[in-house]
Amino acid sequence: MFEDVTAPPARIVSPHRPRRTRRTAALRTFVRETTLSVADLIHPLFIVDGMGVHKPIETMPGHSQLSVDQLAKEIIECTALGVRSILLFGIPTQKDMTGTGAWDANGPVPRAIREIKRLAPDMLIIADVCLCEYTAHGHCGVVRDESGGVINDETIPLLGRSAVCYAEAGADIVAPSAMMDGQVAAIRDALDDAGFLDTPILSYAAKHASAFYGPFRGAAESTPSFGDRRAYQMDPANAREAMREVQLDVEEGADMLMVKPAGSALDIIYQVRTNFPHLLVAYQVSGEYAMLKAAAERGWLDEPRAALESLLAIRRAGADRIITYYVKEAARWLSTAG
């Protein structure tokens, strides 16, 4: 008996067909679990002393060191794109062994805070609190000699002074990144004593000694002149230690938490999100940005798709906000896709 080859194939009966919801762009948007908007992104800026400075950063295409008088165009552009949050790093002309420029009321960051608040009163300003940009040796605190060992307990009062200086200038949030033990508690005490009880602390709670910081160190002029930072930044191999660092910062009074870098620590982001209710920020760092830029320039990647996918992955892992050098480009891409 021959098979009837003209008969229609048997229908595959299945109540579960995930492809049903992928068929059109409208369906894919409707069922999308993770969303990304410009409101989720924080734009970093590098502020320098002087006048008329607009110096492109070679390793970070699209970014420049800016003097305060050059901020207007940047802030107007950010506002037009819907950018709501900015993170400031300062680069002084004069540096010394203890980083005294970090708490100079006329330093680049306090002056930038006042100018941005004048230009865009609703812009949220986060001031990074560290000494590495301000010290002659490039370390994040006071050092005794060229062994690179930072003196923790002599450093944390200086971080407190810096945080108060930025709060006085009008910073909405201070963000300690020096990875000193007890820095959050010291900054909280300093802020409270100065009357800034309502200034929140965004702690760089899990900050790894990463190879992906290279372009930033050039941009911030903060490369250590000797040694490295592995004695106080975290070993990238350690996840349990990251949770311990986060817990300690929470106990010391951190209002918000950060994981840095983001792309190589998605598991840490997920664990922090799972175990702590605090607002969680992840930092897509300069090396991550530079890699995507370099590959795109060679035609190896579709830059908008790759960059937005990388940001979505960070959001999917659990980050509420992302610091990224792609903010302005992402805002344009998202608007076009909108």
Query: Which structure tokens are listed for 221?
Result: 């002029």
Q: Would you call the peptide bond into 261 cis, given omega within 30 degrees of 0 as the criterion? A: yes
Of 274, 254, 268, nearest to 204 by C-alpha is: 254
Q: Is 260 among the catalytic positions?
A: yes
The region that residue 37 occupies, defined by phi over 0 for left and psi between -120 and 50 for alpha, beta otherwise, is beta
Cα–Cα distance for residue pair 286/282, rounded to 1 Å: 13
Side-chain-side CA neighbours of residue 42 (13 Å): 25
Which of helix, strand or coil describes residue 69? helix
Of 266, 222, 263, nearest to 242 by C-alpha is: 266
Query: Of 55, 95, 117, 260, which one is the catalytic site residue?
Result: 260
The number of angstroms, rounded, from the C-alpha of 232 to the middle of its chain's C-alpha atoms is 19
Neighbours of 181 (CB within 10 A): 15
The number of angstroms, rounded, from the C-alpha of 218 to the middle of its chain's C-alpha atoms is 16
Q: Is 117 among the catalytic positions?
A: no
Cα–Cα distance for residue pair 247/252, rounded to 1 Å: 9
Of 249, 217, 255, nearest to 89 by C-alpha is: 217
Neighbours of 79 (CB within 10 A): 14
Which of helix, strand or coil describes residue 85? strand
Query: Of 95, 207, 293, 328, which one is the catalytic site residue?
Result: 207
Cα–Cα distance for residue pair 252/246, rounded to 1 Å: 10
Side-chain-side CA neighbours of residue 148 (13 Å): 12
Cα–Cα distance for residue pair 268/283, rounded to 1 Å: 12
Of 242, 161, 168, 171, nearest to 200 by C-alpha is: 171
State the catalytic residues: 207, 260
